[in-house]
């Protein structure tokens, strides 16, 4: 961040990306002084892929990996598609193992294999082990770089070894203590080590109850452990308890943002890959899939209305009022749905307390239902006095029914999806509004057909 | 986490909270072996405030603060309302300054003042400085505990002082280097210190360009800095550049979750304080406010429909089809809205690229609009053949208009709110569906009145 002003100019100036305007040497110098994430922003702000590709040629290898990792997955893959295996190698060799694995997952399988083959045996084993795990698991998040020591070493020996070999490990905060089979015995924070006498054996200092993640655990669970125990890094073990990696808090921050975006997008009928930077056609197609699903459900609701055409023809006021019942159900249901989906993501709603949560939400639905039934009943009676108080009773009953259905559906849909091991946010919103529209129109028009005409 | 099985039994057993069943001494022992966050979960799982209060009496002081901090704010305040100043003091003295400040903000002003008065002068200054800052700013997040050294010290001296005074500081990863006026000169990671020669002066090791947060910066900005630079702690400085505190990554994880929940809740017409654990009446009241707002906007849409009663009376098919136009607009608008709100939160949508984003969203709206206009026009023509192809053209035009309006509103509403310094998520959803309902009904019924009858 030297020459900060120039870098800022490059980042914010609208002319910045007419790369031809820049002196080549000056541009390379400027880019080399920027942070990987700033370079990522710069790449993102390019309007065309061709601009991005030109820019990439000027970014030094040691920063290119970090810059590429800032890009949304689709764009990352597009950029990397033009790289041959030796170019990928140049990028990968400057990265920590977890980031290297992410890049290798984004390139063609053939290219990745060539790169891996040329790695040194130790590095190769590390990368292969990382690639083996699911991207969204603790194993997929972890990095292989960590500092582990044998349990029978003294503090003095640990510090000696640390001074010799620890230098390359970024964010080294904890020393991991293992036994002769590499089983994780415990964890010592770096500063606890500093405050100890030189001749103490490390197994005495190691915290055996320090939290750990299993390689197969979902990344959301990993985030919960971090939140719960306020640690800055977590050791990852395999099923036997063998230490195989560590996850640092800064990686978890990215995961949490990602998971929150995913839930928000899914609740709003967006695909996870929807991205601001992608072309209009791609976005329109992605969103179109969900709009098409919604069209089908909207037509289903219209089919319900069509059953009551004769009723509406006699009392047009029903057509005026019916969207109110449906709309209130939609909003109330979305409230419940959102609370439950977020509660599941944060670990606050579990199968243990699901029944209690369901009862609460349905109770809230009944309380709101009664309240808004009174309000809308009164309004409708005054709005259409020629239809008398009977219209008020009918719309009140429909409102109560729909708010009850909304709460029930809002709670049951995500809990059921979760039980079926499907993401509780996925398609929840669409199913929910189908329920509230159908129940809303059917109950209101049905009751009107029975009691009004 | 010794006796892990017993603790688990306490946490998960449905009988666990019949506290009377437990032997008092055994219960106290079990509780004292649990982690603060586990105790928080236990408190949350109580069904009644009275159970919670009984349980609190058994929790040892050194864990009680951490447990209380896990509770949602409203419940936290309820629990603390019964504490007198010496009880609060017992809790606070076991906490880091940032957590202590949070507890003091949750108790009565009078009680807090009494506690603060009794603190030692140094601690008192720390706490008062933390309380002075806005809770959602860097100053409100930071803790005063950190390890700072003068720039002219040698590595040897720093390590000596660290061994004497650093022990109490949790998660100590960075040493902060200041000048004689306490201005932050730079940052050294603990392990960089370990790898240096004893006689090097620390100003030579300090990274001057290490990122820092300004006390007044919003917590969302702080989270961005962490995401961008992948650090584990950030120094906080005042306007003069004086080092006044630090923020660790584990606190940022909590903030990110909080901000994501807030945005999700606001998009779903929920208040930030909505909580699973609060009583039905409270939740019904909170949500009722938003439902009432929605009722008003739904009535506004109905007033629009009412203008076309005569048209609907002649062609009832219009009542059948009109919810489709409104519903598609609502979903498409929500897609755009969500992408923009999340983009603003993640720093991807800024005023600099707002125009480009707006153009893209409106273009997507037009592409979807044309596509779904063709689809719905065709369906409508086949569904109501007696009305001929004219109905198809009318609903197609209304669909195109409404998807265009949805994209425009979905992008403009959050950007405008942001420009007015209002949270872009707040009330966005309600304003949006009002727009799409009104435009949807008005354009469809209006065009039908002009061209169909």
With a cut of 70, list the residues of chain A below it in pLDDT.
Answer: 1-22
A254 touches chain B (CB under 8 A): yes
Among B183, B157, B162, B156, residue whose Cα is nearest residue B174 = B162
Q: Which two tokens stand for residue A133?
A: 């795990």
Taking CA atoms, B377 is separated from A368, B305, B323, B398, B405, in Å, by 38, 21, 14, 10, 18
pLDDT in the model for residue A13: 46
CB pairs under 8 A between A and B: 313
Instruction: Render B184-199 in DSSP notation, one character per residue.
Output: EEEEEEHHHHHTS-TT
Residue with the two structure tokens 């990522």? A40
Taking CA atoms, B349 is separated from A42, A71, A261, B352, in Å, by 14, 15, 14, 8
pLDDT in the model for residue B172: 81
Choose the closest CB to A291 out of B162, B227, B368. B368
By the 10 Å C-beta count (0-12 exposed, 13-18 middle, 19+ buried), B198 is classed as exposed
How far apart, in whole angstroms, are the C-alpha atoms of residue B339 and residue B357? 10
- C-beta neighbour count of A128 within 10 angstroms: 13
- C-beta neighbour count of B111 within 10 angstroms: 19
∠ Cα B432 B282 B109 (to 5°): 105
User: Which chain B residue has the Cα nearest residue A358?
Assistant: B276
Q: Which two tokens stand for residue B240?
A: 């003069």
In B221-335, the DSSP E strands lie at 233-237, 243-248
B249 touches chain A (CB under 8 A): yes
3-state secondary structure of B201: strand
Mean pLDDT (whole number) for B297-321? 96
Interchain contact, A284 vs B371, CB within 8 Å: yes
pLDDT in the model for residue A304: 97
Choose the closest CB to B302 out of A260, A323, A338. A323
Q: Where are the alpha helices (DSSP H) in A119-187?
A: 121-132, 138-141, 155-165
Q: What stretch of H or E contains A248?
A: strand A243-248
User: Which chain B residue has the Cα nearest residue A343?
Assistant: B276
Interchain contact, B437 vs A323, CB within 8 Å: yes
pLDDT in the model for residue A266: 93
Mean pLDDT (whole number) for B357-369? 96
Tell me which of A444 and B42 has the higher pLDDT: A444
Contact, B80 vs B69, CB < 8 A? Answer: no
In B56-99, the DSSP E strands lie at none
Interface of A with B in 301-320 (CB under 8 A): 301-302, 305-306, 309, 312-313, 316-320
Q: Per this entry, what is the length of chain B?
A: 453
Choose the closest CB to B162 out of A194, A287, A334. A194
Q: Is pLDDT of B1 > 50?
A: no
Interchain contact, A228 vs B360, CB within 8 Å: no
The pair phi, psi for residue A83, each rounded to 5°, is -85, 135
Interchain contact, A276 vs B1, CB within 8 Å: no
Q: Enter the DSSP assignment of A387.
A: G
B351 touches chain A (CB under 8 A): no
Contact, A246 vs A233, CB < 8 A? Answer: yes
A159 touches chain B (CB under 8 A): yes
User: Which chain A residue has the Cα nearest residue B1?
Assistant: A209
Taking CA atoms, A244 is separated from A42, A139, A213, A237, B250, in Å, by 35, 8, 10, 5, 23
B349 touches chain A (CB under 8 A): yes
Contact, B293 vs B430, CB < 8 A? Answer: yes
Interchain contact, A309 vs B320, CB within 8 Å: yes
pLDDT in the model for residue A17: 53
B-interface mutation test, from A65, A159, A208, A287, most B Cβ less than 10 A away = A287
pLDDT in the model for residue B3: 45
Half-sphere exposure of B85 toward its Cβ, with a 13 Å CA cutoff? 12
Please, which residues have CB within 8 angstroms of residue B187's CB and are 6 or more apart in sequence?
B174, B175, B176, B177, B206, B207, B210, B235
A-interface mutation test, from B364, B379, B383, B411, most A Cβ less than 10 A away = B364
CA A240 to chain centre: 29
A271 touches chain B (CB under 8 A): no
**Residues of B with CB below 8 A from A324's CB?**
295, 298-299, 301-302
Confidence of residue B337 (pLDDT cuts 50, 70, 90): very high
Q: Is pLDDT of B13 > 80?
A: no
Instruction: Render B145-174 in DSSP notation, one character per residue.
Output: ---EEETT-BHHHHHHHHHHHGGG-TT--E
**Residues of B with CB below 8 A from A12's CB?**
352
B155 touches chain A (CB under 8 A): no
Q: Is pLDDT of B152 > 50?
A: yes
pLDDT in tens, B90-110: 988 888 888 888 898 888 888
Q: Is pLDDT of B8 > 80?
A: no
How far apart, in whole angstroms, are the C-alpha atoms of residue B272 and residue B255? 14
Looking at the complex, report in whole angstroms how far the Cα of residue A275 sits from the nearest Cα belonging to chain B: 8
B-interface mutation test, from A3, A4, A291, A315, most B Cβ less than 10 A away = A291
Q: Is pLDDT of B145 > 80?
A: yes
Please, which residues have CB within 8 angstroms of residue B140's CB and are 6 or more apart in sequence?
B101, B130, B133, B134, B219
**Residues of B with CB below 8 A from A256's CB?**
253, 256-257, 260
Interchain contact, A269 vs B334, CB within 8 Å: yes
The pair phi, psi for residue A345, each rounded to 5°, is -60, -35
User: Which chain A residue has the Cα nearest residue B35?
Assistant: A229
pLDDT in the model for residue B5: 52
Mean pLDDT (whole number) for B56-66? 89
- C-beta neighbour count of A228 within 10 angstroms: 17
Distance spanning both ends of chain B, measured CA to CA: 77
Looking at the complex, report in whole angstroms how far the Cα of residue B80 sits from the nearest Cα belonging to chain A: 22
**Residues of A with CB below 8 A from B292's CB?**
375
3-state secondary structure of A77: helix
Interchain contact, A1 vs B162, CB within 8 Å: no
Taking CA atoms, B280 is separated from A364, A367, B164, B289, in Å, by 6, 8, 53, 15
**Residues of B with CB below 8 A from A372's CB?**
288, 291, 295
Which residues, in sequence order, are bridge partners of residue A150? A178
Buried b (16+ CB within 10 A) or exposed e, B300-309: ebbebbbebe
How far apart, in whole angstroms, are the C-alpha atoms of residue B217 and residue B211? 13
By the 10 Å C-beta count (0-12 exposed, 13-18 middle, 19+ buried), B22 is classed as middle
User: Which chain B residue has the Cα nearest residue A376?
Assistant: B295
Q: List the domains of chain B with CATH numbers.
A: 4-141 (1.25.60.10), 148-248 (3.10.580.10), 280-451 (1.10.357.20)
Looking at the complex, report in whole angstroms how far the Cα of residue B110 sits from the nearest Cα belonging to chain A: 31
C-alpha dihedral (B45, B47, B52, B55), degrees to nearest 10: -70
Q: Which two tokens stand for residue A307?
A: 């059953």
pLDDT in the model for residue A15: 43
By the 10 Å C-beta count (0-12 exposed, 13-18 middle, 19+ buried), A296 is classed as exposed
User: Which chain A residue has the Cα nearest residue B430?
Assistant: A331
Contact, B55 vs B28, CB < 8 A? Answer: no
Q: Where are the alpha helices (DSSP H) in A307-353?
A: 309-314, 317-345
Contact, A248 vs A171, CB < 8 A? Answer: yes
């Amino acid at each position: 961040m030297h020459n900060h002003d120039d870098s800022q100019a490059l980042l914010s100036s609208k002319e910045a990306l007419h790369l031809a305007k820049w002196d080549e040497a000056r541009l390379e110098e400027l880019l080399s002084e920027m942070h990987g994430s700033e370079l990522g922003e710069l790449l993102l702000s390019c309007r065309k892929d061709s601009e991005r590709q030109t820019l990439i040629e000027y970014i030094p290898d040691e920063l290119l990996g970090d810059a590429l990792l800032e890009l949304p997955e689709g764009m990352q893959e597009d950029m990397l598609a033009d790289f041959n295996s030796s170019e990928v190698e140049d990028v990968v060799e400057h990265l920590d193992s977890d980031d290297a694995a992410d890049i290798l997952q984004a390139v063609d399988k053939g290219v990745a294999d060539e790169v891996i083959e040329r790695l040194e045996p130790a590095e190769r084993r590390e990368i292969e082990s990382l690639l083996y795990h699911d991207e969204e698991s603790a194993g997929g998040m972890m990095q292989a770089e960590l500092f582990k020591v044998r349990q029978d070493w003294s503090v003095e020996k640990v510090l000696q070894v640390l001074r010799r070999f620890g230098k390359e490990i970024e964010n080294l905060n904890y020393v991991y203590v293992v036994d002769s089979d590499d089983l994780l015995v415990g964890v010592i924070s770096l500063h606890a080590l500093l405050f100890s006498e030189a001749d103490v054996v490390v197994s005495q200092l190691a915290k055996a109850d320090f939290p750990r993640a299993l390689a197969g655990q979902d990344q959301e669970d990993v985030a919960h452990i971090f939140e719960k125990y306020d640690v800055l890094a977590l050791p990852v073990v395999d099923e036997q308890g063998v230490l195989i990696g560590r996850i640092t808090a800064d990686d978890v921050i990215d995961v949490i943002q990602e998971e929150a975006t995913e839930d928000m997008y899914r609740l709003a009928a967006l695909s996870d890959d929807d991205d601001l930077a992608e072309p209009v056609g791609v976005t329109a197609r992605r969103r179109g899939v969900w709009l098409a699903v919604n069209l089908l459900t909207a037509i289903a609701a219209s089919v319900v209305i069509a059953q009551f055409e004769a009723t509406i023809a006699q009392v047009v006021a029903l057509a005026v009022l019916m969207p109110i019942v449906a709309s209130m159900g939609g909003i109330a249901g979305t409230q419940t749905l959102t609370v439950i989906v977020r509660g599941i993501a944060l670990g606050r709603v579990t199968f243990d307390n699901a029944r209690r949560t369901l009862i609460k939400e349905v109770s809230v639905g009944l309380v709101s239902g009664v309240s808004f039934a009174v309000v809308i009943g009164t309004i409708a009676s005054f709005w259409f006095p020629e239809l008398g108080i009977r219209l008020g009773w009918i719309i009140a009953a429909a409102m109560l029914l729909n708010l009850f259905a909304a709460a029930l559906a809002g709670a049951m849909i995500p809990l059921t999806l979760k039980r079926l091991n499907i993401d509780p946010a996925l398609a929840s919103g669409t199913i929910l509004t189908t329920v509230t529209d159908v129940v809303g129109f059917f109950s209101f028009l049905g009751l009107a057909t029975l009691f009004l005409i």
